[in-house]
Amino acid sequence: QKEVEQDPGPLSVPEGAIVSLNCTYSNSAFQYFMWYRQYSRKGPELLMYTYSSGNKEDGRFTAQVDKSSKYISLFIRDSQPSDSATYLCAMNNNDMRFGAGTRLTVKP
Amino acid sequence: NAGVTQTPKFQVLKTGQSMTLQCAQDMNHEYMSWYRQDPGMGLRLIHYSVGAGITDQGEVPNGYNVSRSTTEDFPLRLLSAAPSQTSVYFCASSSGGARQPQHFGDGTRLSIL
């Protein structure tokens, strides 16, 4: 069993939709949680970074962490075609572990 | 700002050949790392360095060597390329070690025939 599980999708939504991306994990020692966005042929870029359980909002993006359920989410409001990318969850205590990524397409 | 720069962007090798993937960062980050990205596997840590002269193994180090002679550069060497090393390789750096968000380069796409 992988330490971090992420549904690879692909996920296709119409422009303006609310997108929900999720990861589960098995290692209760993970303390730091991140979401990265990766465009095709590019490196991952940081979207959200959080340390504790709860919600963190940044513009159209909201990251949610539930440590008791070992479950993290990323919500994208008013999705745009420019949000089309692969989204990677990541978490660590001492070493970083990444999910496999969810491929999202937002159609105009 | 250049950030993290990786060269080459693409490379095709034959089994048994050796090569070095270059990585340079201009952010004065102490922590640098190498990952490989394979379909369905996510990013996996190969080697990392917490500063010049210090390197350590990650999750999948076999077949790879690294060195860190300067803060800026962190090359990854494939000693004898194997088809299983066909992958996309990313270099990353961080100002605060492994626990902080990583800044990634745009990757080197490597095919081993």
Q: Which residues of B touch A41 (CB under 8 A)?
A: 106-107
Distances (CA, A) of B40 to A9, B52, B53, B54: 11, 33, 34, 31
Q: What is the mean pLDDT of residues A68-92?
A: 96
| pLDDT tens-digit readout, B61-103 | 999 999 999 999 999 999 999 999 999 999 999 998 888 889 9
Q: How confident is the model at residue B1 (pLDDT cuts 50, 70, 90)?
A: low
Q: What is the mean pLDDT of residues B17-46?
A: 95
Distance, in Å, from the CA atom of B32 to the CA atom of A47, rounded to the nearest integer, reads 20
Q: Write down the pLDDT at residue B99.
A: 81
The verdict on whether omega for the bond into residue B8 sits within 30 degrees of 0, i.e. cis, is yes
Residue A104 or residue B100, greater confidence:
A104
Contact assessment for residue B46 and residue B36, using Cβ atoms and an 8 Å cutoff: yes
Q: How confident is the model at residue B21 (pLDDT cuts 50, 70, 90)?
A: very high
In three-state secondary structure terms, A68 is coil
| pLDDT tens-digit readout, A13-65 | 999 999 999 999 999 999 999 999 999 999 999 999 998 788 999 999 999 99
CA of A46: which chain B residue's CA is closest?
A: B101
Q: Which residues of A touch B45 (CB under 8 A)?
A: 95-96
For residue A103, give the amino acid letter.
Answer: R
